[in-house]
Chains A and B, each alone.
Chain A
């Protein structure tokens, strides 16, 4: 409670309010532009946060993450092009509603459902994360090692059809994490005589390359026409009827069930917002007394999809803040940003930075409220964002990537590194390699290696300790369960 009050006291400041207002605006814009995901938005804005205080910096990024997830629904409803993968399910009923002249209703529903789903998951985050952290605070190297192994088990569920490619991507991430000075023996590793590599490869550079630069390369490769930008009409007719917040009470069952599904899915690393929205949509359809209307313009469908995908935003922070495990690419970027600002996610975080973390969690709630207000007031403007020609947008993204890479530690070397990782990301996309395992390997590599080395010393040759200590055993079983479940789902999907 003391930390909660201290966190609350950190929030009222002009800088924080501005960070949330600007972050939400940028987030919705990024989400609404097809091809720009919240991950790209986060990466491009990390350099802006370098000179900011920790709380406004994290609030800015959380705003982009949260609002970006909602922003994808705007183009999904208006032009049948989901701005983000999470909004893919919203197309099913959102676009038919727009075709019937009920675009404003669909957009209002998406906004209100996203807000409610987001707030619900914030509450869950505030309830569960501190409790889990109390439990994890006394972990030793053995448990930390097992947590890292559990984190890496996510590879199985995010590798798609080809597990070998997932393992290769993760192995590359682990190898990249070893570059620089080894923290235990002070030995240089893979620096190739380049002094800049002695401190390792900054995670931000990898992120800028894999998400920002790679997007530019992929778009260039995919462009075959003269003009890369497609012009589509995305307008909301004047005088259309919207939805009043009170009318949402009619949808309370769908909101509750979908928010629960979204939160549950989000708390599991490696699942994602797209899965939660499709699952919620399916449940809502099965529960409905008129399932035939789904897919033909049913507001309840938009409600299910959007409340579920935004309910993921708070829930994904539970494993991140308590165990240091990023569940998806957005959260992996947030992890990088937190680290830059001196907050190392994991079991010790609540003990060492309690007030800061509470400020973040309460701030996330504020982000959802601001998202509702900005979304309601500026929806017409956001709808026009999709009309920006790609060449203009691409040039700006490239400029932000260059500035972001340079500003990480004022070095041109970083720009070349970002371009290199952009090429790696491009090849990954072309060869159908998943990127998330690479991120996981990069983020968890150090934790895995250093704790394993410490654990070996601790065990004194008794390796059974990895499986006999209760918490370590629990994480081992969770790892086995997670892999088993993913393999089972994969086989079921393939019809084996």
Chain B
């Protein structure tokens, strides 16, 4: 019985930490990212929008207004996140854990694959980079069926020639 309660208690704590992490990542972190982005862009604005207009509304007014909104909303989002954390601690309320942790490695691999394909396309052609993407996806998803590779390459080659010859796209 006591062991069960201990386990429950531990599970409760785990979920509490998880919930806190979720609040941190869903509100506070994006709030900080947007705030930093807003401040950086605001500081860069005079250099990026060089105007000698004298009217009340210049080319710089609207972007500055938007950046003001971004900074204000970021602060509100951070405060909302902090308030959520405090409220949670005070009430000792547990929320269900968020969705699974995900697979950041595969995400980064797909990101790198796409960037590599874009780079390869520059030195070869989009057909080659397309084949790299297609087969790369199969490799990343651990697909071991040779037929899938054949199908993928055939469809990409057919699509490339269709785009180039039938739809007249100027593809390298």
Contacts and interface: CB of A to CB of B under 8 A. Distances in A.
B170 to A, nearest CB: 5
A168 B134 contact: no
B12 interface: no
B118 A189 contact: no
B21 to A, nearest CB: 13
B77 A168 contact: yes
Contact of B29 (A171, A172, A431): A431
A391 B148 contact: yes
Given A178-B66, A396-B152, A410-B170, A47 B163 contact: yes
A395 B59 contact: no
Contact of A178 (B27, B63, B70, B171): B63
B115 to A, nearest CB: 6
A187 B110 contact: no
Interface in A439-467: 449, 452-453, 456
B124 to A, nearest CB: 12
A246 interface: no
A393 to B, nearest CB: 9
A162 to B, nearest CB: 8
Interface string A213-228: 1001100111110111
A227 B141 contact: yes
Nearest to B104: A221
B67 interface: yes
A387 to B, nearest CB: 13
B106 to A, nearest CB: 4
A168 B102 contact: no
Contacts of B130: 399, 402-403
A165 B77 contact: yes
B141 to A, nearest CB: 4
* Residue with the highest number of chain A CB atoms closer than 10 Å, among B34, B80, B117, B151: B34
Contacts of A410: 170
Contacts of A174: 62, 66
A419 B142 CA distance: 23
A217 B111 CA distance: 7
A456 B56 contact: yes
Interface string B15-48: 0000000000111011000100000010010001
A399 B111 contact: no
A197 to B, nearest CB: 10
B114 interface: yes
A242 B64 CA distance: 61
Interface in A161-219: 162, 164-165, 167-168, 171-172, 174-175, 178, 182, 184-185, 187-192, 213, 216-217
A433 B30 contact: yes
Interface in B91-129: 100, 102-104, 106-107, 109-111, 113-115, 117-118, 121-122, 126, 129
Contacts, number: 198
Contact of A391 (B50, B73, B137, B156): B137
* Residue with the highest number of chain A CB atoms closer than 10 Å, among B44, B114, B142: B114
B168 interface: yes
A175 B152 contact: no
Contact of B114 (A213, A406, A453): A213
A423 interface: yes
A426 B107 CA distance: 10
A441 to B, nearest CB: 9
Interface in A145-174: 162, 164-165, 167-168, 171-172, 174
Nearest to A426: B107
A389 B148 contact: yes
Nearest to A398: B133
Given A51-B167, A221-B102, A222-B102, A187 B51 contact: yes
A51 B162 CA distance: 12
Contacts of B133: 395, 398-399, 402
B141 A394 contact: yes
A430 B99 CA distance: 10
A151 B171 CA distance: 37
A189 B48 contact: yes
A434 B106 CA distance: 24
Contacts of A452: 57, 62
B66 A394 contact: no
A402 B110 contact: no
A184 B59 CA distance: 8
Contact of A453 (B57, B140, B170): B57
A415 interface: yes
Interface string B143-172: 100001001100110011001000111110
B63 A419 contact: no
Nearest to A461: B56
A223 B103 contact: yes
Nearest to A455: B57
A473 interface: no
A182 to B, nearest CB: 4
B126 A402 contact: yes
A400 interface: yes
A390 interface: yes
Interface string A46-58: 0110111000000
Contacts of B137: 391-392, 394-395, 398
Nearest to A222: B102
Nearest to A187: B59
A226 to B, nearest CB: 5
Contacts of B163: 47-48, 403, 407
A168 B34 contact: yes
* Residue with the highest number of chain B CB atoms closer than 10 Å, among A51, A390, A403, A427: A403
Given A162-B27, A229-B141, A402-B130, 14 more contacts: A48-B163, A167-B69, A172-B70, A174-B66, A189-B49, A190-B63, A220-B110, A223-B106, A392-B148, A398-B110, A400-B159, A402-B129, A412-B121, A452-B57
20 contacts: A47-B169, A51-B169, A165-B77, A174-B66, A185-B51, A187-B50, A187-B59, A188-B49, A213-B114, A223-B141, A224-B100, A227-B143, A389-B143, A399-B133, A402-B114, A403-B169, A412-B118, A426-B107, A431-B30, A452-B57
